[in-house]
Amino acid sequence: MILFQTMSWPEAVIASFGIIFATTIVTVAIWQAFGTGRAVVSARGETAYRKLAEQATEAQSRTASALERAVDELSDLRARTTELERLLKEVG
């Protein structure tokens, strides 16, 4: 308060605006620092999700291959069963 009492009005106004300007600059800098931190955390999360998606895709491919082999074996088993039924009808 003593500082403002020894100043003239124009000097006090300039000092006040200087304080407001400095406070604004510090606030914006802090806001940007937190924004950068959020972006880094978000990027890490996206990387983890991307890795999880790749693992899921690989697992899905392996499952599709196993299912395809099972279908082929089932088709072979059906053909053999049909042939066996035909033979049994001819003999019996």
In tens, the pLDDT along 9-49 reads 788 888 899 999 999 999 999 999 999 989 988 888 899 99
> Amino acid identity, residue 13?
V
The pTM of the full predicted model, rounded to 2 decimals, is: 0.51
Rounded CA separation 22/18 (Å):
6
Q: What distance in Å separates the CA atoms of residue 23 and residue 92, rounded to the nearest whole number?
A: 101
Greater model confidence, 3 or 92: 92
The pLDDT of residue 2 is above 70: no
Neighbours of 12 (CB within 10 A): 14
* Residue 67, both tokens: 């299912």
